[in-house]
Structure 1
Amino acid sequence: MQEITRAFLKSGAQVDLFAARPEGEPPADFATVKVHPLPDVGKGEVAAREKRCLHSNEELRTALEREGPFALLYERYSLWSFAGIEYARDRGTPSILEVNAPLIEEQAEHRVLVDRAAAERVA
């Protein structure tokens, strides 16, 4: 996320970052980035955590509606997240979705995936 954020900043964009786990102090060149912390779903029993992750879309959507509008929405795809792209679609905001890996397959093969059908609906 840091390199794409730097590219946006270099282009003169105002960057708002919505994150459940913004870790540590941001780099010095991120001084103008407005960080919006979101609740962390934490760890625990897998099925319950999956449900908390899905529920966190409501919190992200509320935060986006409160802080918007935005000129562009950039989202890195995560297994349970869809609120950002839905917000952009509903508002007619240009958007970019970065997809790095087949997350459903990786989760099922290397970790635990309880509700595959829900993950496929999000994708």
Structure 2
Amino acid sequence: MEEVAFTPTAWPNTAAEDAFNRVPGVLHDYVLQELRDGGAQLYRVSSSAGPGWLVTRVEERELVLCAAVGAGLVPALRAITAGALGAGYDTVRCHSGDWRVEQLYQRAGLKFLEVVYCARVNCGR
């Protein structure tokens, strides 16, 4: 397995913001809010394929990959499912509205489960 390093990084981070801004729609507003509130963690990903960025959050015993950009994401995903971000998780769940990222998930060995649709509800905010 290719060596991949994950460095927890504080938000805001200019380099990460620039990387996510180059791929519109990957870093959703609610994930940004989770980063600001401390409910999600930003990681800088380093591998021989190049740098990348990853946002995660934890839901009980599940690691949720909320957003990812950059090179080396396939080896990074393989490392994550092998326990690189900790062994305390039963599952890893990934979200994407981008078919290109879905292809990366499949190349990394993750299995397709479902499609999710969402609607915004006026809740007085």
TM-score scaled to structure 2, two decimals? 0.31
Pick the structure with more helix per residue: 1
Pick the structure with more strand per residue: 2
TM-score scaled to structure 1, two decimals? 0.31
Computing the radius of gyration from Cα coordinates, the structure with the larger value is 1
Higher RCO (CA-CA < 8 Å; seq separation 6+):
2
